[in-house]
Amino acid sequence: MAGAEMIDNVVHAAIVMTTPVLLAAIGGLVNRVGGIVNIGLDSMMLAGALLGLIIASSTGSWGAALVMAALAGGVLGLLMSLAITRLDANEIIVGLGFNIAVAGLVRFFLKSAYGSSGTLNLPDVARLPRIDIPVLADIPILGAVLSGHDPVTWAAWLMVPLTAWFLARTRAGLRLRAAGAAPQAVRALGLSPLAIRDASTVFAGLMAGLAGVYLSIGVVGIFNEGITAGRGFIALAAFYFGRNRPWQTALGALLFGFFDAFQIRLQGRGVPAELVQILPYAMVIVVLTLMALAMRRARARRA
Amino acid sequence: MPEKEVMLAGEVLLDASVRLGAMNVTRRFGALVANAGINFRAERGTVHAIVGGNGAGKSTLMRILQGMDRPDEGVVIVDGSPVVFLGPADAFACGIGMVHQEFMLVPGLTLLENLVLAHEPVDAFGRIDKARALDEAHRLEALAGVRLDWDTPEEDAPVHVRQIVEILRLLHRGVDVLILDEPTAVLAPAQVKELVALLRKLRDEGRTILFISHKLDEVLAVADQITVIRGGSVIGTMPREEATKAKLAEMMIGEVLARPTARPSVGGKQILEVKNLTVRNNRGHIGLATFDLTVRAGEIVGIAGVAGNGQDELAAAITGLGRVDSGAVGLAGEEMTGLTLRERRAMGLSYLSPDRAAEGLCLVAPIADNAIAGHHRRPAFCAGGILKPNSINSHVETLLDHYSVKRTSAALPASSLSGGNQQRVAVAREFDGNPKLLLACQPTRGVDIRGIAFIHQCLLDFRDRGGAVLVVSEELEELIALSDRIVILYGGKVAGEVVRGSTGIEEIGRLMLGGDSA
Amino acid sequence: MTDSLATTAPLPVLRWRNAAATIAPLLLALVLAAIVLGLAGHNPLEVYRLLAVESFGGAKRIAATLAAATPLILTGLATAVAFRAGAFNVGVEGCVFVGGLAAAYVGFTYVGLPSIVLLPLALIVSVLVGALWMLLPGLLKARLDVDEVVTTLMLNFIAVSLTAYLVNGPLLAPGSANSATPMVDAAARLPKLLPPSTLNAGFIIAVALLLLYWLWGSRTALGFETRIAGLNARFATASGIDVPMLIVKMMLLSGAIGGLAGGIHALGTVGRFVSGFSPGYGFTGIAVALLGRGSALGIFLAAILFGALATSGATIQLFSDVPIEIVSILQGMVMIFAVARFGWIVSKWRGPR
């Protein structure tokens, strides 16, 4: 039936579109729990996408590409974090600065090394394998959800309960929460809140780097300077929406994933592409407003 | 220091009975010498009090002893040997820990999580072992003779509970030298007694307690040894038996300051009228319930109470910075409820904030700006929205001189002033413009002895001129010295009211806890 | 460069430190960018020399630099005005887009009106539209304490998409294949100052606004209040200043100036609204505001600097193989270093963290 197939396609596409946002959002969430709002996720995604593609093409191994992309993101994360924690720089400005500088560096690099202005199309790019689960694949909808996805998507969704457990139950998670909420208290106890924050930013960078390489070798197979399409900011929206809770953040990422998937389909039906593109960003504003209203109502309601 | 004295100090300090000490410790912050050649020794199993006025250098020394800071010269002594602390972790390793004045607990975590933070019992996976943590908590509870609800979020726990958690946390880490910085500042008299009992118990078990305070009565009640610090140097150390309040006060301030004497109040017409006021705090609970209060011209009314019993809500209602659930606030016969603070200031209200650094002043802005803020739109200083810099300048200079603010230049940021001088700027600004009522919250917090006397005199002079003052303070001595009447707040209601000279501290302390004695 | 009310001059030490704080980020960025250039096989000193020559060598080039600096003066001022009051407005880019489109619309629709009416009208419309664009985030911040960083950031993207829709649809120039509006009427064009360069009267307007800002900041009660509110909002409130209202006002003002930047760009330089209207003027404006530390003179100099980089970067790209992206790299790094505080490194050796 064409209808069911279409639904399956949309579901599948939604999950595909969710993965990069989810990865970056989980990273951003951990970062924020540790006390830093990471506006520069886009830059780490971009770097991961580029490096991942290059590695995938030159080594033929998608595993190596994942590792190197994550590392690239992690290194950028570390640099950004050091500027914030050791040089006491404002995290918003540093994030924006990183986005601008890294975007420039990427284009500079493409021009200098490949003579290309914006797009990089390499031969023999190792793509992510597709995991089809035999019996499940035939179930409508559920099959689209569980089957036919790649390892990175599975890893992304596994990160959600893992992060929740980490924050609530482990020693490192407790120290992270403390470092974000009261760094002076943490320092008085003999720990280093700055080092803890740096670690959380590196983690965010790793995740964003993975998100980036997923886009370049998982989704499209080439690199384009616009490949992130502002998804670093959508991830920001997702973890704001999720209020530092992993499952809620995942829900937000999923919502945006559905939007993304629908948007492509709506484009062909006379709804102007540009207007549809507005939806995720508008939704962020709406969500933030609703959250603020709810908080205000809750405060007033307390008897 | 002459060599002979250095050798003497060395012999005395490098002795194994010195559990924690300092030898010739000097610490400078730019031009300010916070600690100058300090020699200090605390023996094992004693309660050692360090007294001194604000800015004397006590906190700096304690931070060095605990590893939060490093001396420019000299060394810390542990068990008779010199050591170097690179951070609090090193101090903890030597069994030294500190309870700071601003509690170092983490909001958003439970009391249990706060207890074990940085020293968590973990299992193989890095998971926190909650059962073991609870066991430990119960063990420590027994030690201290308390019972706590360990799942309470930190921000919901009352102040004295938080302090106990801080102390237990140190014990959990095997600390046997506890440094406490002004621990009684936030406690009611009966809670102070409990704390003193706990400290004595810990001392009897062989621990060493270092106790910073400027409250001489408490110091004399609990200490075995007392060290007086003034101007960054140790003035003297003596055993309890040799210490008297007068002697200590003299050592602290270098001379005996006369207490400002207050003439009896004349009591004019009603200035502040609070009727049936009910205010919620920012967590939605009722902070102040059906509260009535009157303050007359030429009268100082003090509000006493342990922090968190409605003082913040009362101040918020009077200033207009908080929302009032029901009731009315009036100034000189005119309704004030619902007006903004700007409008209330125009009506004659002045407000001295309890939090000088965050609200009373803008530390990064020039002193002149701090002095004129709030007055800058007065016709004398502003015409059609355009400021008159010359008028403002001369006014500011006159004002600062009148309040003896010691400064290099009014163009420098307010952070360049000492705490006492900063508060003088705030006081000067609030008295400027002849207000009808001054709401003064913690008016001498963090101010040196001379500054305290000066500010108290300002308040009394203002009262004698016919002004009305409402003082909210955690320092009972201050309230007793200033107030014609003291209203005691407990649980958001009036627990009692005492008139000048009618009762003593014990009675007020009893009322502060709702009328039950310890 | 302190905006103090005290007429006593700030001590020499303070002035020196302020100057160093302005130059240092630039120097650091130049050093790091030099490393990047070197790695790519270029001679950094030669590149910088070329950039300097191309920006300031001769009247024609200086005119081009000033023309490029014009939108940056305005976006820098727009950002600085908001930052001053403590509102973290990163949405000036969006205001440039909507203001530019609005001005272009008036310019090509009301053909036939004399220049003396049409030109101011178009500019005023760009100002109003820019201000309106910031009304929502301003209100949300003031009334509900919604983080203005996120809302203004989102509005950038919305503005780009919205104007793209309009310019590709209803406002598309008839017969035009690419996304552009019709050219605005000659009566709506800002007069050129030094033909054939693009330097136009917009530059005069920008400088005039900067002077007004300087006067306003140092001499008016509102200027005083916004500065204090930005430094310590609680203190400002306790002094009787209505901080939420101030934030709304400053966000509107910020949007207005940003919209004007778009309007001047449309009526002075481009002559219409096209897709890709602003090459990141709004974001560069943030770097300008930060490097200039919010002072009128600082904004002016920083805008000249970035304008110089933009024009010379475009030119040298033509006859050398140095990619223009070196400008973005410099810009991003200046932003980061402008907010870094290096005094900390000195105190690090003092004691434990």
Contact C332 A99 (CB under 8 A): yes
Q: What's the confidence (pLDDT) of residue B256?
A: 47
**How close C113 gets to chain A, by Cα (Å)?**
33
With beta carbons under 8 A apart, name residues in chain A contacting C328: 100-101, 103-104, 107
Q: Which residues from chain C sit within 8 angstroms of residue A191, using beta carbons?
A: none
Q: What is the pLDDT of residue C112?
A: 85
**What φ, ψ does residue B412 adopt, rounded to 5°?**
-75, 155
Q: Indicate if the pLDDT at residue C2 is higher than 60.
A: no
Res A2: pLDDT: 64
**So what's the pLDDT on residue C187?**
81
pLDDT in tens, B262-298: 666 666 888 899 988 998 877 667 888 889 999 999 9
Q: Name every residue whose Cβ is closer than 8 Å to that of residue B128 and which is 6 or more positions away in sequence.
A: A169, A170, A171, A174, B116, B120, B121, B122
Interface of chain B toward chain A, CB-CB under 8 angstroms: 67-68, 87-92, 98, 100, 104-109, 113, 117-120, 122, 125-128, 280, 282-285
Q: Tens of pLDDT along B379-404?
A: 999 999 999 999 999 999 999 999 99
Q: Per residue, what are the HEC states of C230-282?
A: HHCHHHHHHCCCCHHHHHHHHHHHHHHHHHHHHHHHHHHHHCCCECCCCCCHH
Q: Which residues of B touch C2 (CB under 8 A)?
A: 366, 411
Per-residue DSSP letter, B122? B
Average model confidence (pLDDT) across chain B = 86
pLDDT at position B1 is: 46
Averaged pLDDT score across all residues of chain A: 88
Instruction: Give the pLDDT mean for C82-109.
Output: 93
Neighbors of chain B with 3 or more C-beta pairs under 8 Å: A, C
With cut-offs at 50, 70 and 90, classify the pLDDT of residue C349. very low
Strand-pair category, B437-441 with B468-472: parallel
CA angle B339/B343/B346 to nearest 5° reads 145
- Cβ-defined contact of A187 to B88 (cutoff 8 Å): yes
> What are the tokens at B411?
């163009």
Give the model's confidence band at A300: pLDDT under 50 very low, under 70 low, under 90 confident, else very high: low
Distance from CA of B57 to the nearest CA of C (A): 17
CA distance C65 to C305: 9
Q: How many percent of chain C have pLDDT more than 90?
A: 43
pLDDT higher for C270 or B217?
A: C270
* Overall average pLDDT of the A242-257 stretch: 88
Three-state DSSP class for residue C14: helix
Structural domains in chain A, CATH included, are 2-302 (1.10.3470)
> Could you read off the pLDDT of B499-510 as tens digits, one per residue?
887 777 777 777
Select the residue of C157, C332, C339 nearest A230 (Cβ to Cβ): C157
State residue C5's pLDDT score. Answer: 46
Q: Which residues, numbered 380 to 409 in chain B, qualify as contacts with chain C under a Cβ-Cβ cut-off of 8 Å?
A: 382, 385-387, 389-390, 392-393, 396, 409
Q: What is the pLDDT of residues C194-209, one digit of tens each?
A: 777 788 899 999 999 9
Task: Round to whole Å and give the CA distance between C236 and C233.
Answer: 5
pLDDT per position as a tens digit, A16-35: 889 999 999 999 999 999 99
**b vs e for A115-133, b when ≥16 Cβ sit within 10 Å of the residue's Cβ?**
eeeeebeeeebbebeeeee
What is the pLDDT confidence band of residue C170, given thresholds at 50, 70 and 90? confident
Mean pLDDT, rounded, for B372-378: 92
Which ranges of chain C would DSSP assign to H, the alpha helix? 12-39, 44-56, 59-84, 92-109, 115-133, 135-144, 148-168, 201-219, 221-231, 233-238, 243-264, 281-291, 296-319, 325-338, 343-348
Could you tell me what percent of chain B has a pLDDT over 90?
41
Average pLDDT over residues B310-333: 90
pLDDT of residue B106: 92
User: Tell me, what's the pLDDT at A303?
Assistant: 39
Q: Mutation target for B interface from A32, A166, A171, A244: give the one with most B CBs within 10 A.
A: A171
Q: How far apart are the first and last CA of chain B?
A: 49
| Greatest mean pLDDT range, A72-76, A295-299, B310-314 | A72-76
Tell me if A172 and B126 make a contact (CB, 8 A cut-off).
yes
Beta strands B324-331 and B334-335, pairing class: antiparallel
Residue B130 identity (one-letter amino acid): K
Q: In this structure, what DSSP letter does residue B108 have?
A: T
Task: Note the pLDDT of residue C276.
Answer: 84
Number of Cβ within 10 Å of residue C349's Cβ equals: 6
Q: Name the least confident of B133-142, B301-310, C232-241.
A: B301-310
Residue B326 token pair: 């029901």
- Enter the DSSP assignment of B110: B
**Is B106 in contact with A178 (Cβ distance < 8 A)?**
yes
Per-residue model confidence as pLDDT tens digits over B130-188: 888 999 999 998 888 888 899 989 888 888 888 999 999 999 999 999 999 888 877 77
The model's confidence at residue B207, banded by pLDDT at 50, 70 and 90, is very high
A265 burial level (CB within 10 Å; 0-12, 13-18, 19+):
middle
| Binary contact (A190, B68; C-beta < 8 A) | no
Do B1 and B37 form a contact (C-beta atoms < 8 A)? yes
Q: CB pairs below 8 Å between B and C: how many?
A: 113
Q: What CATH number was assigned to the domain covering residues C15-343? A: 1.10.3470
Nearest chain B CA: its distance from A303 CA (Å): 6
What does pTM read for this prediction?
A: 0.83
* CA closest to B284 among chain A residues: A302
Contact B76, B21 (CB under 8 A): yes
Helices (H), B127-259: 130-144, 159-172, 189-204, 216-222, 245-253
Q: What is the pLDDT of residues B77-102, one digit of tens each?
A: 999 889 999 999 999 999 999 998 87
C-alpha pair distances (Å), A183 with each of A190, A192, B105 = 11, 8, 10
Cβ pair B193, B213 in contact under 8 A: no
What is the structure's pLDDT at B102?
Answer: 78
Q: Are B16 and B25 in contact (CB under 8 A)?
A: no
Would the CB atoms of C341 and A292 count as touching at under 8 Å?
A: no
Nearest Cβ partner for B284 among A169, A188, A299: A299
- B361 — contact with chain C (CB < 8 Å)? yes
pLDDT at B518: 36
Instruction: Give the three-state DSSP class for B277.
Output: strand
Residues of C in contact with A187 (CB under 8 A): 353
Query: Are C144 and A89 an interchain contact pair (Cβ–Cβ within 8 Å)?
Result: no
Query: pLDDT at position A6, please?
Result: 78
Task: Give bridge partners of residue B286 from the DSSP assignment.
Answer: B280
For residue B382, which phi and psi values (nearest 5 degrees)?
-150, 130
Q: Is the pLDDT of residue B484 over 80?
A: yes
| pLDDT in the model for residue A124 | 81
Q: What is the predicted pLDDT for the residue at C73? A: 97
Calpha distance C160→C169 (Å, rounded): 14
Task: Give the model's pLDDT for residue B309.
Answer: 81
Are C230 and C84 contacting, i.e. CB atoms less than 8 angstroms apart? yes
- Cβ distance C154 to A282 less than 8 Å, yes or no, reads yes
The answer to whether the Cβ–Cβ distance between C158 and A282 falls below 8 Å is yes
Q: How confident is the model at residue B375 (pLDDT cuts 50, 70, 90)?
A: very high
Please check whether residue A117 touches B, CB under 8 A: no
Computed on alpha carbons and rounded to an integer, the radius of gyration of chain A in Å comes to 20
